[in-house]
Structure formats: structure tokens, C-alpha cells
Amino acid sequence: MRIASVEVTPYALPLREPYVTAAGRLERREMVLLRLRCEDGLAGLGEAVPLSLRGGMALARVVDELERLGDWESLDEATLSAAGAALSPPARCAALTALMDLRSRRAAAERDAPSADPPQPVRCNATLVAGEPTAVAADAERWAGDGFSSFKLKLGSRDGDDVGQVRAVRSALGPGARIRVDANGAWDVATAKRTLAQLEPLDVELAEQPVATLGEAAEVVGTTSIPIAADESVESRADAERAVAIGACGLVGLKLSKVGGPEAAIGIAEVLPSFVSSALDGAIGIAASAQVAQTLSEAAGPGDPGLAHGLATQRLFSSTVASVECELRGDMLHLPEGPGLGVEIDEAALDAHRL
């Protein structure tokens, strides 16, 4: 596709409260907005989220990669895939998402009508940051009061009471709540085995990335009845195939900026049952992730495991750069009904948050 202009805007959204995990602490999320414009002015939106808590690519590197797209003769999915090694996963995600959005908007403009089928909502889990057990339980009750029934607890923080947090949330919410835990690879094998054994009586839905590597996960998975899900250790279809081969996990959490875009995420989900999570994305990343979640549900059909997706994180931010974006109603994430991703940018808000 011939692109007339490439517009790259780094910006940051402040968090309502510090986001605390085993990997570190964030006060705000830095990200990059990408706009690809055709000669007639139609634009597609993409978003790159450098995974700063994971030691990922620096924001400046991602900005540079995206700005260099303006030097390319043409942009399409094939050329981006062929040059994939030259783009970090967040940058590739932004470019491919923007192309997808642009093509969908183009198709809608050519038929002069929106899609006939309104997008289906996506069920989401609450995301609880690490803290003192009583504080985490109080946070869980606030989410539950807003209609959430699935809860993800961030464990593995230094000096944190992992079992105490889960026990406090289970006590506060009762037996009906679904509770999953995520240690972000902070535990060693012995700690993972010991902690998961202590968590088994608390009816934990799944444990995400309890240890750092797939090899370590393979040592843990047979010692607990709690299903093990990968996150950081599965970044590609090849990783997913290896996870299956060595029996490291039965599930994987997908983040678009981690794996390099929607198609890569769907490719991984063809190998392992998957749920989609936010990397503390902005409005564009959330909309793209929600569309992937819909695709996975449709592909699974009656075999859909019914796992909630980690896409309610817009609640964690105190502001947005979108005038139109996904909307949370209870624990259901409703996508915009416009063409493509349906997201529209509030230019004044973007200017206010520009880096």
C-alpha cells in the first residue's frame, strides 16, 4: 500500500495509582502513536508499547524504527514480515495494526457504510497490583462492586505476602470469584512449587509465568493442580511449539506488543489455548487486542475455554488520548462501532500528553 505520510507521536498516560509487580513499579505508561496516511488523507492508527518493566526496547529506539517507515517505498503486511527482524515487536505491532485499521477504514469508505455486524463485547478480568493483603482485598471488592467476577493478582514482589494476598481476596470475594495469579517469572522453581502448593486450597484458576523460563515451567507443571500459563517466555509461534513439546504449560497470555501484532498473536493461539492481556496499552492497543480476543473466541467455537481477558486496564489510567474508544460496562469491554478499530483521537488530549 502506498503511504503518503508516517506520523509518529510518543506520549505518556499517568496511572491513577502506581502499578506494582514483581518486575518493578510504574507511575505512567510511555507509548507511541503511529498514523499511516494515504494520499486522500485517510489514516490508520497503530500503537507501540515498549515493555519497559521487562527490559524491553527503549522508547527512543521504537520511535526511530517507526519514523524510518517513511523511507520505505511501500508498506504492506508482506514487506513488514520480511523485514520483521529489523523491527522490534512493539514497532512491528504498531505498523501492522495501523495497516489493518487503514484497510478496514478504506473498505468501509468504499462501500459507504459501516460493517453490518456490530462487534461483540469481550469479558475482562480485574487487574490487582501487588500490595498488603488487606489493601489488595479492598481493591478486589471495588472491582467486584463494578461487576467483575475474574481477578488477576500480581505476585512475586520482594517481601510481598503472596499467599496472604490470595487468601485475603478469596475471603473477601467468596467461592464464586475466579482468581488467577501472575508472578512475572519472579519465583525460582523451589519457590514456585512451594507457593503453588499453598495456593491450591484457594481454588486458583491459573498461574501465569510463575518462573522465568519454559524449562523451569516444565519442572513445575507436573507438581501442581493449578494450570500453568506462559507470558514472557512465549513471544512467538516457535516458542509456543517448544512449550507444547516439553510440556511447559497449557495456556499462554498474549500481548500484541510482545509478540509483534495481531496475526502473530493468532498464530500462537493456533498452538496453545490463549487469552489476551494488555501491556498497559492505550486506546488503540486495547481495541486491537479486543478484536483478537473476538477472533479467538469465534475460532474456538464450543471449545472456547471461556477465560476472561486482561483488557480492563484503561481503568488504571487517569486520562486518555481518545475521543472514541472501547467502553467498559461492568466486566464487558464494548468495542467502538466505527470502521477499523473504531478509535478516534482527541488531538488536544494527545498534545497534552505528548513527550
> For each of the chain's 355 residues, which pLDDT tens digit applies?
678 899 999 999 999 999 988 777 899 999 999 999 998 899 999 999 998 666 667 899 999 999 999 888 778 787 777 755 689 999 999 999 999 999 999 988 888 765 557 788 999 999 998 899 999 999 999 999 999 999 999 999 888 899 999 999 999 999 999 999 999 999 999 999 999 999 999 999 999 999 999 999 999 999 999 999 999 999 999 999 999 999 999 999 999 999 999 999 999 999 999 999 999 999 999 999 999 999 999 887 776 778 999 999 999 999 999 999 999 999 999 999 889 999 999 999 999 999 9
Q: CA geometry: angle at 148 spanning 142 and 154, to 5°?
A: 75
Count Cβ atoms below 10 Å from residue 56 Cβ, excluding itself: 18
The residue among 111, 99, 92 whose CA lies nearest residue 2 is 99
Can you give the pLDDT at residue 83? 59
Can you give the pLDDT at residue 80? 79
Residue numbers of the domain that contains 107: 5-114
Count Cβ atoms below 10 Å from residue 226 Cβ, excluding itself: 22
Q: Are residues 141 and 249 in the same domain?
A: yes
Q: Are residues 169 and 57 in the same domain?
A: no
Can you give the pLDDT at residue 70? 87
Last residue of a domain, one of 51, 80, 114: 114
- The answer to whether residue 70 sits within a structural domain is yes
DSSP state of 292: H
Q: Are residues 140 and 274 in the same domain?
A: yes
> Got the DSSP string for 295-321?
HHHHHHGGG---PPBB--GGGGBS--S
Q: Are residues 269 and 319 in the same domain?
A: yes
Q: Which residues of 92-118 are buried (b: 16+ CB within 10 A; e: fewer)?
A: bbbbbbbbbbbbbbbebeeeeeeeeee
Q: Are residues 158 and 138 in the same domain?
A: yes
Q: Are residues 265 and 312 in the same domain?
A: yes
Q: Are residues 158 and 59 in the same domain?
A: no
Q: Are residues 69 and 23 in the same domain?
A: yes
The residue among 295, 293, 291 whose CA lies nearest residue 310 is 293
Q: Are residues 140 and 212 in the same domain?
A: yes
CB 156 within 8 A of CB 131: no
Q: What is d(CA 192, CA 180) in angstroms, rounded to the nearest whole number?
A: 14
Q: Are residues 127 and 237 in the same domain?
A: yes
Last residue of a domain, one of 114, 130, 146: 114
CB 59 within 8 A of CB 33: no
Q: What is the pTM of this model?
A: 0.94
Can you give the pLDDT at residue 248? 98
- The answer to whether residue 91 sits within a structural domain is yes
- The answer to whether residue 333 sits within a structural domain is yes
Determine the angle formed by the axes of helices 89-111 and 262-269, rounding to 10 degrees. 100
Q: What number of CA atoms fall less than 13 Å from residue 288's CA on the CB side?
A: 36
CA distance to 132, 188, 271, per residue, from 185 (Å): 20, 8, 22
Kind plus residue range of the DSSP H or E element containing 6: strand 5-21
CATH for 29:
3.30.390.10
- The answer to whether residue 267 sits within a structural domain is yes
Can you give the pLDDT at residue 53? 64
Which of the residues are catalytic?
154, 255
CATH for 140:
3.20.20.120
Q: Would you call 245 exposed, middle or buried from its count of C-beta atoms within 10 A (0-12, 13-18, 19+)?
A: exposed
CA distance to 90, 161, 167, 279, per residue, from 263 (Å): 13, 38, 38, 17
- Positive or negative, the Cα torsion across 302, 271, 21, 60? negative
Q: Are residues 132 and 257 in the same domain?
A: yes
Rg (CA), the chain: 20
Can you give the pLDDT at residue 76? 78
Q: What is d(CA 264, CA 253) in angstroms, rounded to the nearest whole number?
A: 13
Q: Are residues 185 and 90 in the same domain?
A: no
Q: Which residues of 185-220 are buried (b: 16+ CB within 10 A; e: fewer)?
A: bbbebebbbebbeebeebebbbbbbbbbebebbbbb
Domain total for the chain? 2
> Got the DSSP string for 217-266?
HHHHHTT-SSPEEESTT--SHHHHHHHHHHT--SEEEE-HHHHTSHHHHH
